[in-house]
Amino acid sequence: MYRSLCNRSIGPYTLGGVTHPRFDSAPAALINFASRALTRVNDRRLRPLGLTFAQMPVLVALSKTGALPQKELAVLARIEQPSMAQLLARMERDGLIRRTPAQHDRRVSLISLTESGLAKLTQVRSALFETNDQALRGFSTAEVDLLLGLLNRLVDNLDESPADSPSDVTVTGPASADDHASVRRP
């Protein structure tokens, strides 16, 4: 349905000296569309577990690092502070995380997974694999490897942006890239 709506002319744009006929064929637009579609499908699959896809970076990060201050968790999960505060409030309400005062500074809360949060995390793996399988249907192993390599380079390029680099935050025990994107090979 989306493609049929986008077949209307959105206007030309130029990328790398090449003029393209429509905005929806720009790499950033296609990546955005794919991201939204993946989020929608993952949310549908996670709903029966009482979870959303937006919670996954927090659950994965905390499962790998243990308790973290909210500021470090926001950096590690790549979530802006205001959004992180709202997300954590919902997750605490739902019994997925707990906040405890830090020993070194009682003003700082450490965020950690509850037993319920950890149990839910173990249940989501198959749902996320199903989405990856659906998205990568018809791709060869070489195409999946190429796609992953290109997407990782794209993320690295965007992470190099000096405007976005949080120089005052140190993240302890970062999760590996494999922890954030589970992909089964076809």
- 175 within some domain: no
The parent domain of residue 85 ranges over: 52-126
- Asked if the model's pLDDT at residue 100 lies above 90, the reply is yes
Quote the pLDDT of residue 157.
Answer: 92
- Asked if the model's pLDDT at residue 25 lies above 70, the reply is no
Share of the chain above pLDDT 70, in %: 75
Domain boundary among 97, 126, 155: 126
CB 6 within 8 A of CB 23: no
Same domain (yes/no): 23, 76: no
More confident residue, 31 or 178: 31
- Asked if the model's pLDDT at residue 182 lies above 50, the reply is no
- Asked if the model's pLDDT at residue 27 lies above 90, the reply is no
Quote the pLDDT of residue 29.
Answer: 84
pTM greater than 0.75: no
- Asked if the model's pLDDT at residue 147 lies above 90, the reply is yes
Q: In what order do the strands lie in the sheet with 68-69?
A: 68-69, 109-113, 97-101
Number of domains in the chain: 2
More confident residue, 19 or 118: 118
Same domain (yes/no): 121, 62: yes
Long-range CB contact pairs, 46-52, < 8 A, 24+: 46/124, 46/127, 49/120, 49/123, 49/124, 49/127, 50/94, 50/120, 51/96, 51/120, 51/124
Same domain (yes/no): 116, 62: yes
Same domain (yes/no): 38, 74: no
- For residue range 36-95, what is the model confidence (pLDDT) as tens digits? 999 999 999 999 999 999 999 999 999 999 999 999 999 999 899 889 999 999 999 999
